[in-house]
A and B are shown apart, each in its own frame.
Chain A
Amino acid sequence: MYRYDTLDKEFLADRALEFRQQVARRLAGEITEDQFKPIRLMNGLYLQLHAYMLRIAIPYGTLTSTKLRKLAYIARTYDKGYGHFTTRTNLQLHWIKLKDAPEILDHLAEVEMHSMQTSGNVIRNITADPYAGATADELDDPRVWSEAIRQWSTLHPEFSFLPRKFKIAVTAAAKDRAATRIYDIGLAMRRGRDGELGFEVMVGGGLGRTPYLAATIREFLPTRHLLSYLEAILRVYNRHGRRDNIWKARIKVLVASLGAEEFARQVEEEWGKSDHSRVDLPDHELARIRASFAGTFETLPAASETLEARKAADPAFARFLRRNVHPHKAPGYAIVDISLKEPGETPGDITSEQMEVVADLGQRYSQDEIRVNYQQNLLLPHVKLEDLPAVYDALAAARLATPNIDLVSDIIACPGLDYCALANARAIPVAQQIAERFADPALAEEVGELRVKISGCINACGHHHVGNIGILGVDKKGEEFYQVTLGGSGEGDAALGQMLGPALPAAKVAEAVEQIVGVYLRERKDDERFLDTYRRTGVAPFKEAVYAEAH
């Protein structure tokens, strides 16, 4: 886990002081809300339907117990006692008072946290593989490179007024757990023929109104040149990205209009003219960052008798192991996913008390590390097998042991019209209704891997385009309707979903999902996942089931 040194801490203190002075000027009426807007947005402070919302950055989704306890404290003291994890692995507090914001930033700075660059047309919080440092299938620790990007992109003087927001995702593993194809830049580590490590550089992915999967513009970029190459990409975008139309300002539109090949040529040309050595991190700095992520694991037996005994005696625990526990690179350890998707609750929401439970477990059982992933869940990356029963019991007591990771009730949903000024429709109640239909864990497990993603508007914060079942809220003459798409995926087999048919009224959505699942269970062969069956059968049988009554 990267720890701030004196320099990082002083930087953050400067930032907190700057914002305190800016808020004072606003509260004194020296600047108008219009003039204040860009300033607050540089600090993740939005004005929403009911109150200010503060979006706190969680760089590449990594937390310590101290940080998570501080978030719990802030949510309890300045908000309503809960927070909401987002698909960008940030934490949102939806009921903030402007006058409290500077104090909150001071609290955050105490634990090396902030809300910088969680909004505005800048390089946003970096996301990475949540299994970093714990999974056997990675070539390197992606947090090293994510931290390098975090520092480089922090108050970057040239790229703080981009045409639009800019999101970067990093993975170093074979399996893409960071959804690298749906972001402005996706970086996936590869090993070159001579053994050297490099990144496949993908550019121009993004959801929203016109969804695109990112195109590879370079198959192999030696890792040491990462920052200078990113600078070249950002420079081409900063100069040539559209600024006349907010809906066409993301880099995906530039890449699509130039064509990936021409865009790549321009990047290579720019990169060729720049002095890489002025931008790329020197070895000593990379080594310093790398050292902070070095994990040490005890030599343990690959199996635990305590665990096996409990597993044999307790079917609920056995189900939790099947769904929420994943292999670790070190024998005797496991990765534990914590679902924030208890049926009936708001996806991604967590109370202060629950945060404290997770913080305690992280400190005691997971080398003081806790992660957030883009599915709006948490995870403990380094739990000993013999500790799993204790961890499970503590999670279950806090209603955090829902065994539904990657299942139909593990739904991604944006805050929607319940909070967000941009939304056309509510997302949370729809998610709740669907989850409740599959609340029986045996049923959910029988259905298997099925990713449902819901957005309350075309901005697609809920990633509906890449949901196996995607649901988009639209407004039809003042009424909430929902557009359903099938077959999307944000992972290694990335694809955009295809429209099922006419939009459905709110009351029909959960039923439609049930019908879609019914068709899948009828049609599936052997071990096919929902996505496999859909790809084989096409949309027709699903369409028929959902719209049958209309005929």
Chain B
Amino acid sequence: MPKLIKLHQGQASLANDRFTQVADEEPLPGGDVIISLTRFQAEGDRLLSEGRAVGVRVEAGEEIEGLVYDLPRVAVVALAFPKFRDGRHYTNARLLRERFDYRGEVRAVGDVLREQAMFMVRCGFDAFEPADDSGPDEWLAATRRFTHVYQRAADTREPAFVARAE
């Protein structure tokens, strides 16, 4: 069971994961699940009608636009990093938050390392399954290394050009 760190109101804590992450070839267990985009497109309606909470796992090569119509019904969008250097999901996270106004959980899964924490938080991720030994304290510290930022993103941090004018 991977560790799950959640960020809420500027605080990071370990969370119990109520979702079971299910691979495509595995049978579906009961309860809340996170399934692939393909599986969601085939079985999502049925699972939701059973009253379960459903999360969708999106691979780096998949278009996030494919999920837009269903976003209001999706509890978690898990963006999967095949390698930490694959940066496509930073764009996907920003699109979810800024363009599609998604308010549910955006979770980073896969090759998720502390050195990415600040970028992820700025792009709108609020849940993380670190692949290194990071706990909530290390994770939070990594997001706070920089007092200032130079550009707007999906978070509420004030960019330098605004701070300077105050």
Q: Contact: B87 with A279, CB < 8 Å?
A: no
Contact string against A for B residues 14-49, beta-carbon threshold 8 Å, 1 for contact and 0 otherwise: 000000000000000000000000000000000000
Q: Does A156 contact B (CB under 8 A)?
A: yes
Q: Does A161 contact B (CB under 8 A)?
A: yes
Interface size classification for chain B:
20 to 34
Q: Does A257 contact B (CB under 8 A)?
A: no
**Which one of A7-15, A292-300, A302-310, A321-329 is at the interface?**
A7-15
Q: Contact: A14 with B151, CB < 8 Å?
A: no
Docked complex: B106-121 residues within 8 A CB-CB of A: 115-116, 118-120
**Contact partner of A285 among B87, B116, B146, B165, CB < 8 A?**
B165
Chain A residues with Cβ under 8 A from B87's Cβ?
121, 158-163, 238
Q: Contact: A243 with B86, CB < 8 Å?
A: yes
What is the CA–CA distance of A7 and B94 in the complex, to the nearest angstrom? 25
What is the CA–CA distance of A284 and B88 in the complex, to the nearest angstrom? 33
14 contacts between A and B (CB under 8 A): A7-B163, A10-B148, A11-B146, A11-B150, A152-B150, A152-B151, A154-B150, A158-B91, A158-B153, A159-B90, A160-B119, A161-B87, A161-B119, A282-B161
Contact A11:B122 (CB < 8 A) given known A38-B85, A161-B90? no
Q: Does B123 contact A (CB under 8 A)?
A: yes
Chain B residues with Cβ under 8 A from A285's Cβ?
161, 164-165
Q: How far is the CB of A321 from chain B (nearest CB, A)?
A: 43
Chain B residues with Cβ under 8 A from A155's Cβ?
118-119, 146, 149-150
Q: Does A281 contact B (CB under 8 A)?
A: yes
Interface size classification for chain A:
35 or more
Instruction: List 5 additional A-B contacts (Cβ < 8 Å) besides A157-B122, A157-B123, A162-B87.
Output: A157-B90, A157-B151, A161-B84, A161-B90, A238-B91
Q: Does A245 contact B (CB under 8 A)?
A: no
Chain B residues with Cβ under 8 A from A158's Cβ?
87, 90-91, 94, 119, 123, 153
Q: Does A273 contact B (CB under 8 A)?
A: yes
Contact A7:B148 (CB < 8 A) given known A157-B119, A160-B119? yes
Q: Contact: A7 with B160, CB < 8 Å?
A: yes
Chain B residues with Cβ under 8 A from A278's Cβ?
152
Chain B residues with Cβ under 8 A from A243's Cβ?
86, 88
Q: Contact: A161 with B150, CB < 8 Å?
A: no
Nearest A residue to B157 by beta-carbon distance?
A157
Contact string against B for A residues 14-41, beta-carbon threshold 8 Å, 1 for contact and 0 otherwise: 1101100000000000000000001100
Q: Contact: A14 with B91, CB < 8 Å?
A: no
Q: Contact: B151 with A279, CB < 8 Å?
A: yes
Nearest A residue to B99 by beta-carbon distance?
A273
Chain B residues with Cβ under 8 A from A151's Cβ?
150-151, 160-161
Contact A282:B165 (CB < 8 A) given known A157-B123, A158-B90? yes
Chain A residues with Cβ under 8 A from B86's Cβ?
161, 243
Q: Contact: B164 with A5, CB < 8 Å?
A: yes
**Contact partner of B91 among A5, A39, A235, A288, CB < 8 A?**
A235
What is the CA–CA distance of A539 and B147 in the complex, to the nearest angstrom? 58
Nearest B residue to A235 by beta-carbon distance?
B91
Chain B residues with Cβ under 8 A from A39's Cβ?
115
Nearest A residue to B115 by beta-carbon distance?
A39
What is the CA–CA distance of A152 and B161 in the complex, to the nearest angstrom? 10
Q: Contact: A161 with B153, CB < 8 Å?
A: no
Q: Contact: B165 with A14, CB < 8 Å?
A: no
Q: How far is the CB of A460 from chain B (nearest CB, A)?
A: 23
What is the CA–CA distance of A293 and B149 in the complex, to the nearest angstrom? 23
Chain A residues with Cβ under 8 A from B149's Cβ?
155, 157
Docked complex: A385-404 residues within 8 A CB-CB of B: none
**Contact partner of B88 among A38, A121, A238, CB < 8 A?**
A238
- Give the top 8 A-B pairs by smallest Cβ distance, nearest first: A161-B87, A157-B122, A285-B161, A157-B119, A151-B150, A158-B90, A14-B146, A157-B153
